[in-house]
Amino acid sequence: MRNIGKKSLGLTALKATGSAIAACVFGLAVVQSAQADGLNVWDDYTFEGQSATIEQLNKAFEAAHPGVTINRTARTFDDMKLTLKLAVSAGDGPMVTKVNQGAGDMGTMVKEGLLQPVDAYITKFGWDKLQSDSLIARDRWSDKGQFGEGPTYGISGLGEMVGLFYNKKVLEDAGLPVPTNFDEFTADLDKLKEKGIAPFMIGTSKQHMALHMIATVSQAHVDAAKRSTLDDLIYGRGGSWKTEGNVTAASLIQKWATGGYFYPGFQGISGDDAVQLFVAGQGAFLISGTWYFGDMQNNPDIHFMPFPAPHGVEKPLTVGGVDLAWSITSLAKDKATQDLAGEYINYMVSPEAALTWAKAGYLPSTILPDNADFQASTLLKEGIAMWKQVNANNALGHYPDWSAPTLLKTIDDATPHLLAGDMKPEDFVGAIDADYQAYLASKK
């Protein structure tokens, strides 16, 4: 699960005539020769800043394609999960939509024929030159339901990384250096605790901060050169979650949670709350993703870096990926609509759109040209530099929950027990693996 922290209210423009127009457009689209002139688009950009950016991009696209109207519907992540499949299969959904990758949404929709491959457009527009194959592979599903291979069903506009946010001022006030490796990091934690400062700001009651933290610590143990085991796991090719790295990560987090390294009351506050507290100067470190840049940049003392890897790991994996993918649904029935949808997506992953996102403070998945000229917050500059490095190292890791449809629920159920200390780290990893193996077995 990725940016579930962004779960929020849709800023749908209220157009009384919207559905009527959509109906006319749809009626026209059935006629093969008709020029496609309208596109129903769903996205999940519901934060105020995101929403303004996507509206701006939509306007630019309409300006470049006279006569074309974009009917935008914004949906929260949760809302999208709940309604997208039903709406597309009912025929009153979008022609272009954001889809959550992984078995739960994209996998299911591909299986039911609700999405169309975009490979033709990848070739036509050269998207594979804008984004690395490791990113695009996350949108592939084979006819046999194999994740990570086969036709491509989408492409994303934004990148995501989970890393270490740190408050430089809190560290300086405590007389501590910014850690450069894992040992310095744990030493900082101990000293902060001695001084009565919460080393970690975290909230686990909503969003998935604990999951991201465990995955981050665990994947920092994996060298990019040896990433195939993790890739195999995620793409459902087999393997086991019961690795030493996973158990070590779970033990470490359990030790931190039960040993007073977490902000007190963390069980009762949400991830969003924790970010607010962190921005207000509480806690020294927070492990979460780039999607919080918008909030984090309100405090100039907050910086972002990769989680410090243990000794011997040269190019550690950084948990992350891309935001929900832009996909073409089965409701783009004729070639004209499909082509228009392709052009729309092409615009959304273009360097031009990437620059617009970056200017608004978000991390685009399309690598920005070096000469791109824009004012960015320190935080975003750190993020963009890290994105380049991680992609160059082929070191972008995965969200564990992508590997099986019920895994997020399983992790959510087990994590509070791990953090409370009443579940052994081995059993925690075991619970994840049991769910995963059951999924593998069900696919056979």
Partner 1 sequence: MSSQLNRTALPLRLTLWFFGLLTIFPFSLLLLTSVKSQPDLMRGAFVLPDYPHFENYLHAWIDGHFGVYFWNSIFVVVPVVVFSIVLGVLLAFGFAFLSFPGRKALFVVLTIGMMVPAEAFIIPLYYEMRYLGLTNTYAAVILPQIAQSMPFATIFLASAMQQLPDEILEAAILDGASRRHILWHVILPLMVPAMSTLALFLFIWTWNEFLIPLILVNDDAYRTLPLGMLFFQGRYTVNTPVLTAGAVIVIAPLVLAYLIFQRKFIAGLTAGAGK
Partner 2 sequence: MKLRSKLDAPVHKNLIYILPGLILYAAFVFGPIVSAVGISLTDWNGLGLPTWVGLQNYAGLFSDERFYLSLKNNAELMVFYCVLPLGLGIGLAAILWNMKPREQLMLRTMLFLPYIMPTAVLGIIWAWLYNPAFGPINQGLRLLGLGSLALPWLGDFTFVLPAVGLVATWYFFGFCMVIFMSGMQRLDPNLFDAARVDGATGLQTFRTVTLPLLLPEIRVVLLLTVIASIKSFDLIFTMTRGGPANATLVPNIYMYQLGFQLNRFGYAAAVAIIGAILIFTVNYAIHRLVRPADEGAN
Q: Write out the residues near partner 1 by the rule CB under 8 A.
A: 7-12, 14, 18-19, 46-47, 73-76, 78-79, 82-83, 86-87, 90, 92, 270, 272-273, 276, 280, 295
User: Which of partner 1, partner 2, none does residue 269 bind to, with CB < 5 to 8 Å depending on kind?
Assistant: partner 2
104 or 245: CB nearest partner 2 = 104
Phi, psi of 318 (to 5 degrees): -110, 125
Residues between 272 and 291 that touch partner 2 (CB under 8 A)? 273, 277
On the CB side of 257, CA atoms within 13 Å amount to: 25
The DSSP result for 297-326, as a single string, is: TTSTTEEEEPPPPPTT-SSB-B-EEESSEE
77 or 121: CB nearest partner 2 = 77
* Cα gap 85→8, rounded to integer Å: 19
Q: Which residues contact 381 (CB under 8 A, 6 or more apart)?
A: none
Binding mask 176-215 for partner 2 (x = CB under 8 A): ---------------------------xxx----------
Task: By CB under 8 A, name the one of 354, 414, 429, 432 that touches partner 2.
Answer: 414
Q: Which residues contact 325 (CB under 8 A, 6 or more apart)?
A: 98, 99, 101, 106, 138, 139, 153, 154, 155, 156
* Cα gap 3→50, rounded to integer Å: 13
CB of 69 to partner 1, least distance (A): 17
CB of 358 to partner 1, least distance (A): 23
Which of 50-58, 160-168, 364-372, 402-410 is the region at the interface with partner 2 (rule: CB under 8 A)? Answer: 402-410
CB of 266 to partner 1, least distance (A): 16
Residues between 336 and 375 that touch partner 2 (CB under 8 A)? none
CB of 21 to partner 1, least distance (A): 14
Count the neighbouring beta carbons within 10 Å of the beta carbon of residue 443.
Answer: 12
Task: Dig out the tokens for 421 from the structure.
Answer: 């200390």
- Supply the Cα-derived Rg of the chain in whole angstroms: 22
* Cα gap 425→430, rounded to integer Å: 8
CB of 369 to partner 1, least distance (A): 33
Binding mask 86-125 for partner 2 (x = CB under 8 A): x--x--------------x---x--xx-x-----------
CB of 42 to partner 1, least distance (A): 10
**Under the criterion CB under 8 A, does residue 413 sit at the interface with partner 2?**
yes
Its sign, for the CA torsion 341, 349, 158, 234, is: positive
**What does each C-alpha distance from 51 to 21, 93, 263, 299 come to in angstroms?**
22, 20, 32, 22
Count the neighbouring beta carbons within 10 Å of the beta carbon of residue 373.
Answer: 6
2 or 227: CB nearest partner 1 = 2
User: Which of partner 2, partner 1, none does residue 9 bind to, with CB < 5 to 8 Å depending on kind?
Assistant: partner 1
Overall residue count recorded for the chain in this entry: 444
Q: How far apart are the first and last CA of the chain?
A: 25
Q: Which residues contact 341 (CB under 8 A, 6 or more apart)?
A: 39, 95, 96, 328, 332
**What does each C-alpha distance from 423 to 109, 135, 261, 265, 428 come to in angstroms?**
36, 35, 18, 19, 7
Q: Which of 439, 383, 336, 360 has its CA nearest to residue 95?
A: 336
Task: Dig out the tokens for 277 from the structure.
Answer: 């507290």
Task: By CB under 8 A, name the one of 352, 409, 426, 438 that touches partner 2.
Answer: 409
**Under the criterion CB under 8 A, does residue 329 sit at the interface with partner 2?**
no
User: Which of partner 1, partner 2, none does residue 352 bind to, with CB < 5 to 8 Å depending on kind?
Assistant: none
User: Which of partner 1, partner 2, none does residue 437 bind to, with CB < 5 to 8 Å depending on kind?
Assistant: none
* Cα gap 44→14, rounded to integer Å: 17
**What does each C-alpha distance from 240 to 50, 141, 224, 247, 395 come to in angstroms?**
38, 21, 18, 12, 20
5 or 148: CB nearest partner 1 = 5
User: Which of partner 1, partner 2, none does residue 12 bind to, with CB < 5 to 8 Å depending on kind?
Assistant: partner 1
CB of 236 to partner 2, least distance (A): 17
CB of 413 to partner 2, least distance (A): 5
CB of 345 to partner 2, least distance (A): 23
User: Which of partner 2, partner 1, none does residue 367 bind to, with CB < 5 to 8 Å depending on kind?
Assistant: none
Contact positions vs partner 2 (CB under 8 A): 81-82, 85-86, 89, 104, 108, 111-112, 114, 203-205, 264-269, 273, 277, 405-406, 409, 412-417, 420
